[in-house]
Amino acid sequence: MTDLTREKYIGELENIRFSPDFEDKTIELVNSLGKPYKTGGKMKAILAAAAVLILSCVTAFAMPGFLTARQVAERLNMTELGALLESDRSVKAEKSIDAGEYLITLHSAVSADELVNIEGADTLSEREYFVISLMKKDGSALDNTKDIIRFTPLVDGFNVNDVNVCTLGTSMHIIEENGILYYLAATDSLKPYRGKKIYMAAFDGMMPFGKIITKENGEFDYAENYEGIRAIFELPEIF
Amino acid sequence: MGERRKQILKLSRVQPDIEALVRNHSRDMLRAAYTVLHNTDDAEDVVQNVFLKVVQKKPSFNDDGHSKAWLLRATLNEAKNMLKKRAKSENIADIPDGTAGFDDTYSEVLEAVMSIPGDYREVIFLYYYEGYSVKEIAGIIQKPVSTVTTLLSRARAKLKIKLEGEI
C-alpha cells in the first residue's frame, strides 16, 4: 500500500460506527459475572545477578506440605485437568533448578489435546499444560502479588523473538500456598515442534526477549547484561 | 501461612483490571472482528465473548503488548468461528453483504479490502492498521512467516487490481 492508501484505509476503518456505550456495556457485562480479576502483575526485580545457571539437573522433590500438580489445578477450579495431570498420560518431571535464593521446580506436564470440555481448552487452543513452583530456599514466604517471575517456552532451532510466551499464546495462572508460588502454564499445541527440544525459561525483566535470552553456540543462554533470575528447563516429551 | 495471609491474597486477586483491558483494547478488537465479519453487531458480540473468556480463563499477561496480541488473536479466532457457524447454518459463503455501520463517506479502500478473501483481510488489517511486523503477525495468527509473507503479497496484488494501481 502507498502511504496515501494506507492512511485512507485506516481512516475508513476508523469511520466504522460501533455502539457508543460498547465499553461501558461490556464492563457491566463482565462485572455482572462476579468474577473480576487482576491481570498480569507488577514484577519485582528479584535477584542480583548470580553466575549463569542453566541446569538440566534432576533433584528429588518430595516434601510434605507441597501441593501436587493435581492440587494446583484443582485450586484453580480445573478439576478435569487436575485428574489428567495425575494420570498416566502426564509426565511427572519433578526437576528442580537452584536459582540463587530460589528453587524452581517443574512438577508435571501433560498434553490435553483430546479433552474437549476441559476448562481453558476451547477455541483459543491452549493444549499443553505445565505445573511449576517457585520457593525461597531459606523458607521465607513469597508473595503472590510481588514476587512474580515469568516463564517463556523456547524451541530449539527457533529465534527467541519468534517463538516465545507471546507467540505461543501462553497463559499463566498463579496461586500461592504456604509461601510457595505455583504456576500453571498453558500453551498452544507444541506438536508442530515435535522432535525438537523444548524449554521453559524463567525470567524477569521487560521484553523484547532477545535482550534477555540469546542463543550462542546453539544453546539458549541469558544475555550477559541480564541481571534477573536464570533457570531454563528442558521440557519432557509429552506427546 | 495463616488465614490472614490467605485473605490478603484473596482480596488482591479481585482487583478488576478487566476494565483497563476493555478500555485499552476493545476499539482495536472491534475492528479486527469487523474485518472478518463485515458486520458491526456481530463484531460487538464477538468482542464481548472474548472478554467473557478472559474472565473465565484468567490469563496472565506480561505487558500491554502481550495482552493486545492475545486479545486480537482471540478476537480473530472467535470471529472466524462465528463465520463458520453462520455459514454452516445459513449455507452462505464468506462475508455477509452490506455496509451497516459505515459513515456516509465513501469507503473506497476499505471496501476493496473487504472484498478480498478473509485470510488476506486479516493480514492486511494486522499489517497496515495495527502496524505489526510479518513475524509478529505470524505469531498472532499462528502461521509460518513465509505463509504470512505470501498472504500479504497476494493481498496487495489483489488490492492493486481492485484499486486500479493506487496501491
Q: Answer yes or no: is pLDDT of A62 > 60.
A: no
Q: Order across the sheet with A231-234: list the strands.
A: A150-155, A198-203, A231-234
Residues B87 and B132 in one domain: no
Are B47 and B106 members of one domain? no
Is B128 a domain residue? yes
The answer on B152 and B91 residing in a single domain is no
The confidence score (pLDDT) of residue A164 equals 82
Q: What pLDDT was estimated at residue A30?
A: 79
User: For position B83, which CATH number holds?
Assistant: 1.10.1740.10
> Helix, strand or coil for residue A11?
helix
Q: Quick one: B92 and B109 in the same domain?
A: no
Q: Which of B31-40, B60-69, B153-162 has the lowest mean pLDDT?
A: B60-69
- Cβ of residue A234 closer than 8 Å to a chain B Cβ: no
Residue B33 placed within a domain: yes
User: Residues A171, A128: contact at Cβ < 8 Å?
Assistant: no
- Are residue B151 and residue B109 in the same domain, yes or no? yes
Closest to A176 in 3D by CA, of A136, A218, A138, A207: A136
Same-domain status, B23 and B93: yes
Please tell me whether residues B27 and B93 are part of one structural domain: yes
- Give the end of a domain, one of B67, B101, B135: B101
Residue B96 sits in the same domain as residue B153: no
- Nearest Cα to B155, choosing from B25, B29, B33, B35? B35
A166-181 residue pLDDT tens: 778 777 788 888 888 9
Phi-psi region of A61 (alpha: psi -120 to 50; beta: other; left: phi over 0): beta
Instruction: Give the domain extent around B136.
Output: 102-167
- Dihedral angle at the C-alpha atoms of A76, A85, A39, A44, nearest 10 degrees? 110
* pLDDT digit string, tens, across residues A11-34: 889 989 999 999 988 888 877 664
On whether both B155 and B110 belong to a single domain, the answer is: yes
Domain ranges across chain A: 44-234
How many contacts, defined by CB atoms under 8 Å, are there between A and B? Answer: 186
Using CB atoms, pick whichever of B1, B40, B142 lies closest to residue A16: B40
Q: Is the pLDDT of residue A223 over 70?
A: yes
Q: Which residues contact B116 (CB under 8 A, 6 or more apart)?
A: B124, B155, B158, B159, B162
Query: Is the reported ipTM for this assembly greater than 0.85?
Result: no
B95 & B107 share domain:
no
Last residue of a domain, one of B44, B72, B101: B101
The total number of structural domains in chain B stands at 2
A33, B52: Cβ pair inside 8 Å? yes
Q: Is pLDDT of A121 > 50?
A: no
CATH topology of domain A44-234: Immunoglobulin-like (2.60.40)
Domain shared by B96 and B106, yes or no: no
Between CA B60 and CA B54 the distance in angstroms is 10
Distance to chain B for A199, nearest Cα, Å: 18
Please judge whether A145 and B9 are an interchain contact, meaning their C-beta atoms are less than 8 angstroms apart: yes
Angle at B44 between CA B40 and CA B45, to 5 degrees: 120
- Judged on CB neighbours under 10 Å (0-12, 13-18, 19+), B146 is exposed
Q: What is the CA radius of gyration of chain B?
A: 19
Residue type for position A63: M
Using 50, 70 and 90 to split pLDDT, how confident is the model at B127? Answer: very high
Is A162 close to B145, i.e. CB distance below 8 A?
A: yes
B115 domain residue, yes or no: yes
d(CA A150, CA A201): 8
CATH number for the domain spanning B165: value is 1.10.10.10
Please check whether residue B6 lies inside any domain of the structure.
Answer: no
Distance between B116 CA and the closest CA of chain A, angstroms:
14
Which residues on B lie below 8 Å from A16 (Cβ)? 30-31, 34, 40, 101-103
Query: From the CA of B92, how many Å to the nearest CA of chain A?
Result: 22
